[in-house]
Amino acid sequence: MINSANTITAGANSRLLKAIGIGESNSLLNCLVPLLDAVGWRGRQNQIIEALPHFPEQIGLTEFLNTMGNLQYESQSLSATLDSIDSRLLPCLFVPEDYDPLVLINLKDNQAMAFNGRTGNYEQIPVSHLRGTMYFFKPLTAERASFMAEQPDWFSKVMQRFRSLFATVLVLTFFITVLSAISPLFIMAIYNQLSLSGSIKGLIHLALGVGVFVAGDIVLRGLRHRILSFISVRTGYLVGNEVLRRLLALPSSHTESATLGAQVARIRDFENVREFFSGPAIIALIDLPFITLLIFVLIYLSGWGAVIPVVAILLYIILGLILIPRIKDANQQASKNHSQRQEFLVEMLTNIRSIRVSGASSRWLERFRPLAAETAMSNYRADVTSAAVAGLSQGIVSLAALSTMAFGVWLVIQGHMTLGALMASMLIVWRILAPLKSGFSVITQANKILKSISQVNRLMNIKQETTPGATTSMVRDIGGRVAFSQVGIRYSPDAHPALVGVDFSAEAGEKVVIVGHDGAGKSTLLKLTLKLYQPQTGKILIDSMNLRQMSPQALRQMISYSPQNNHFFYGTIAQNLRLANPMATKADLERAAKHALVLDEIEALPEMFDTHLGDHSSARFSASFLRRLSIARAFVRETRIIILDEPEKGFEGNEMKAFSAMLKNMPGKPTVLIATHSAHFFDIADQVIWLEQGRVRAKGPADRVGFEYNQQNQASKTTGNRG
């Protein structure tokens, strides 16, 4: 049985490593498939590849744990020796201190059955005192794993994961406050004795005692800071990942209506949550409830002298009610202007080549100047307001401290207080007033955090593309028939209809050419077929299945699509092509590139399929090359339906004829939908659909509809020339 499992795992590992294009040198990555097999994971191999980091050859322990998290497994770690492991906890990943990582399967008769990440084989290992870290994995619960379901008050549920850590922080803060209260009392007692005896030994005791209290305070504060830093980092990871997953799962109507800059600003706003837990604001908020203890100590030391800091606190509250709305308005205006400026810069940098080519640099600079000036002025107003409030806060603190000291001196003169008590009182007063110095800014930041949390919770409540109960799988041998029945859609209630009453059917294996002027609805028709949008009227069928009952993800796995615009990501040509099919072999990539007439150009590059794209180096490639590369990515996934949006942009002259001939004779005879302005595809079309203003003007054989469309184009050109 072990041999069988070994063979299966070795084969799966080999296919996995071959698919992602790296060797078997990464012992940790070698453990992934055996571990998943041991914990009973059931899924497709392309899910593993999608869960891996972008550059899997650099995978470390953190990336390995994140990969398991992406596959819906949570982990717990335990430092122990091999002979101390309870066999009931297995399987687990065992990372020894001076040995290769192992996947422990079971323990029996002082022998451990384990998969060795370095050798790639199952081995019997003697149980010994080998020390390392065990990582145990268990599936996430349905509530925690189902991120697609709507989750009200999501952020509170995330914070509940850290409730034990927050409790520890409160306990540490309590002890820090107790130290802050005891240390002045200790100083008072020693100082009073020292002033009477004048003993050098007493002075040494005072110094030692103060040193002990200071050291204890440093240790406790250090522990608290480490815990809050962990919560900050972990919260940033959880919120960041979940926000990104949600954004990727949002319907197109929620994302395409917003600019790129607005999306970036939205994600940046969520970073405020992480920064809050790592900044001074959270410390000040945690310290505030414990001020009461210090006030009681101050009452014990100075009696009515404790009224002064209490009055200062009340004054803070009154000023806060007056000033915080002004601070909030100033910061909101500054934030709004900053977001607009960021949107402008993102848009400019995205289209900088077009701006330069069109000679529009001066106009963009003119647009930027008033925006930059308004942003600078709003920042100035916010800074001035914050500075004034900070000065006022410092003034209140100083006045309260001086008043307390003056009152204490009067008590000393009257003989109601010792000098030691006066020193202790002043230390406690400064400790009480310290959180108040940043009180206004803390409250303002807290308002910002509450706004960010509200945005996170709203995002978690938006209905996703995949809904519970939708079909999540499709029969892989679908015929490929596509039918539209009286389909209509408008992108917003006040917009003109993008499609009205569109009705046609494409039988399996047919080549359908969709033509029409810009804005006629060609791309909209293709996007509806991919379920990027939902039609308001009518229905769309794949074979006999209504798209409304299909999972968008499953549907898109069954369709090869090349969009109108080319989109490439940072990575190699091979990595970009494998986005369509993570399991594609090099032969699959070569086949797809050959179909798109781009293989020769790729092989002429020094690094061939390992050539990098997605950064500034993409500028050295022609638009034609990038267009054909985008088409090749669609061909990497072998499906029964292929959708091409204006593919003619990548071909010239005889290349167009060769590409058309390839589509006509394509292996497997898939159904092909082509949105185009070109008449070159009429020669291979089984039918042509002519759209005008979202309606089907004509549909039928290419020799009739194509002929009418060409005549209309010629007539339009003739009229334009006469005009």
- Give pLDDT tens digits for 586-626: 888 888 888 888 888 888 888 888 888 866 666 677 778 88
**Which ranges of 31-70 does DSSP label H, i.e. alpha helix?**
32-38, 45-51, 61-70
- Whether the pLDDT of residue 270 is over 70: the answer is no
- For residue 99, the model assigns a pLDDT of 76
Cβ contacts of residue 319 below 8 Å, gap of 6+? Answer: 392, 396, 440
- For residue 468, the model assigns a pLDDT of 42
- For residue 475, the model assigns a pLDDT of 44
- Write the CATH number of the domain with boundaries 154-461: 1.20.1560.10
**From CA 110, how far away is CA 435, in angstroms rounded?**
59
Burial label for 472, CB within 10 Å (0-12, 13-18, 19+), is exposed
- For residue 300, the model assigns a pLDDT of 78
E-assigned strands of 6-120?
A: 73-81, 92-96, 102-108, 111-116
CA angle centred on 163, ends 274 and 153, rounded to 5°:
65
**From CA 49, how far away is CA 20, in angstroms rounded?**
7
Residue 105 backbone dihedrals phi, psi, to 5 degrees: -95, -50
Range scoring the smallest mean pLDDT among 145-149, 447-451, 586-590: 145-149
- Whether the pLDDT of residue 145 is over 60: the answer is no
- The C-alpha torsion from 37 through 40 and 45 to 47, rounded to 10°, is -130
- Whether the pLDDT of residue 554 is over 60: the answer is yes
Average pLDDT over residues 692-703: 82
pLDDT, one tens digit per residue, over 227-241 is 888 887 777 777 777
Residue, of 711 and 117, whose pLDDT is higher: 117
Average pLDDT over residues 256-285: 65
Strand-by-strand arrangement of the 482-489 sheet? 499-506, 482-489, 537-542, 545-546
Closest by CA position to 227, among listed 273, 154, 278: 278
**From CA 508, how far away is CA 669, in angstroms rounded?**
8
The pLDDT mean for the chain works out to 76
| H/E stretch holding 403 | helix 361-413
- Whether the pLDDT of residue 7 is over 50: the answer is no
Give the max Cα distance, the chain: 117
Q: Which two tokens stand for residue 249?
A: 């799962």
**Range picked from 2-6, 248-252, 419-423, 506-510 for highest mean pLDDT:** 506-510
Q: Which two tokens stand for residue 578?
A: 């494998």
Provide the residue type at 259 as one letter: T
- For residue 439, the model assigns a pLDDT of 60
Strand-by-strand arrangement of the 687-692 sheet? 559-562, 641-645, 671-675, 511-515, 687-692, 695-700
Whether 2-143 shares its CATH topology with 482-722 is answered: no
**Domain range annotation of the chain:** 2-143, 154-461, 482-722
**From CA 280, how far away is CA 553, in angstroms rounded?**
43
- For residue 638, the model assigns a pLDDT of 82
Cβ contacts of residue 132 below 8 Å, gap of 6+? Answer: 79, 80, 81, 82, 94, 95, 96, 97, 99
- Cα–Cα distance list, 439 to 215, 285, 394, 678 (Å): 27, 9, 11, 67
- Cα–Cα distance list, 608 to 510, 584, 597, 715 (Å): 34, 16, 15, 46
**From CA 566, how far away is CA 676, in angstroms rounded?**
16
- Write the CATH number of the domain with boundaries 482-722: 3.40.50.300
Residue, of 447 and 546, whose pLDDT is higher: 546
**From CA 297, how far away is CA 179, in angstroms rounded?**
12
Range scoring the smallest mean pLDDT among 55-59, 115-119, 333-337: 55-59
- For residue 297, the model assigns a pLDDT of 79
| H/E stretch holding 484 | strand 482-489
**From CA 105, how far away is CA 667, in angstroms rounded?**
45
Burial letters 475-510, b for 16+ CB under 10 A, else e: eeebebbbbbbebbbbeeeeeebbbbebebebeebb
**Which ranges of 146-290 does DSSP label H, i.e. alpha helix?**
154-160, 163-197, 200-249, 252-255, 260-278, 280-287
CATH class name, domain 2-143: alpha beta
Percentage of the chain lying above the pLDDT 70 cut: 80
Average pLDDT over residues 297-316: 79
Closest by CA position to 465, among listed 542, 527, 543, 545: 527
Average pLDDT over residues 618-635: 80
Cβ contacts of residue 394 below 8 Å, gap of 6+? Answer: 437
- For residue 147, the model assigns a pLDDT of 47
**Rounded to 5, what percent of the chain is helix, strand, coil?**
60, 15, 25
